[in-house]
A and B are shown apart, each in its own frame.
Chain A
Amino acid sequence: MAKSDIDLVYLAKATRDDGAFAELVRRHQAKLRAFLLRLSGNHANVDDIAQMSLIKAHGAIGDFRGGGSFRSWLFAIAYREFLQQKRRDDAVARIGDAAAANETEPATTSLNEMSLDLKDALLRLPEKERAAMLLCDAVGFTHAEAAAALGAPLGSVKSWVQRGREKMRAMLSPPTGETASCAGQKSNGVVYAR
């Protein structure tokens, strides 16, 4: 019978068994990286963030107290890593923007009527709504697990998920006219921004 995550964590803690930790990695790395990819929207740093998160988890496995699920603990580490990376990227981008400000015109592309896919629609959500929605709807976390992973109150996570869904619905619904409401319409697979 396959061992549960908690069994493997205790095995890894008690014996410093890298085999047990490797099994935990095998179980969770793919969804973790998929989550990070949809959260960040680019491939560039996903594997680095995931690798750093898992190395930190390996080093800190002794601190896992078992109050929540292992996956929410792991995703919490990854989410913090993502935020740190984002802050670094933003700082670099600000420096780059300042240098290029006098050389280039600001982007003028209209977001209206632009064809979108799921990825783009997700990236239009505020970060916390995107993360909460991905965890609850895509990864399959409970609200409590998502709250633990995001380090946020349960009520906030619930409202982020709800707001994210509403915004996604609006973005993914096809336009039927300039003034038409999208409420109640189903997506036909072609995705549009409003």
Chain B
Amino acid sequence: MRDEELAAILREDLSALADAYQDDGFARNLRSRIEARKRVRAGILGIVGIFGAGVAAAQFNRLFESASQSMMIQGLSWQGSGYSSAIMASLIIATAVIATAIVLQREG
């Protein structure tokens, strides 16, 4: 048996196997699995992000309160905007979290 004949036998065997595999739903299942992994990853990031944002907002709130008090001493106040320092801190943190999520999404 020559090399070409042997290669032809192997090629035919593999082609027959590949034909059987071509449209058996494997690719579709794989895509679903990749998308599911992405959703799990996004969920984990979301939970961690919310938890982190909560912790950070609590710290920010303290900072904002002390900054607000010192500004009031100096005759300045940002509370004229009508928002409490807690809400302002939460808005800043939420903006940071959203920006991070956008970057992470683009990075994949």
Contacts and interface: CB of A to CB of B under 8 A. Distances in A.
Interface of A: 16, 18, 21-22, 25-26, 29-31, 33-35, 37-38, 47, 50-51, 54-55, 58, 62, 118, 133-134, 136-140, 165, 168-169, 172-173, 185-187
Given A137-B6, A165-B3, A51 B33 contact: yes
A55 to B, nearest CB: 6
A29 B21 contact: yes
Q: Would you call the interface of chain B mostly helix, strand, loop, or mixed?
A: helix
Interface in B1-43: 1, 3, 5-7, 9-11, 13-15, 17-19, 21-22, 26-27, 29-31, 33-35, 37
Contacts of A37: 17
Contact of A140 (B11, B34, B37): B11
Contact of A138 (B11, B19, B37): B11
Contact of A34 (B1, B18, B29, B30): B18
A19 B37 CA distance: 16
B33 A138 contact: no
Nearest to A27: B27
B38 to A, nearest CB: 9
Nearest to A51: B30
B19 A169 contact: no
A138 B14 contact: yes
A128 B82 CA distance: 74
A47 B15 CA distance: 17
B108 interface: yes
Contacts of A33: 17-18, 21, 26
A18 B80 CA distance: 49
Q: Would you call the interface of chain A mostly helix, strand, loop, or mixed?
A: helix
B21 A168 contact: no
Contact of A30 (B9, B10, B11, B21): B21
Contacts of A136: 7
A165 B108 contact: no
23 contacts: A16-B108, A21-B34, A26-B27, A29-B21, A29-B26, A29-B27, A30-B17, A31-B14, A33-B26, A34-B21, A38-B14, A55-B30, A62-B108, A118-B10, A134-B10, A138-B11, A138-B13, A139-B14, A169-B6, A173-B1, A186-B5, A187-B5, A187-B9
B36 to A, nearest CB: 11
Contact of A16 (B22, B26, B31, B106): B106
A55 B13 CA distance: 27
Contact of B13 (A18, A118, A165, A173): A118
Nearest to B26: A29
A114 B5 CA distance: 22
B34 A55 contact: yes
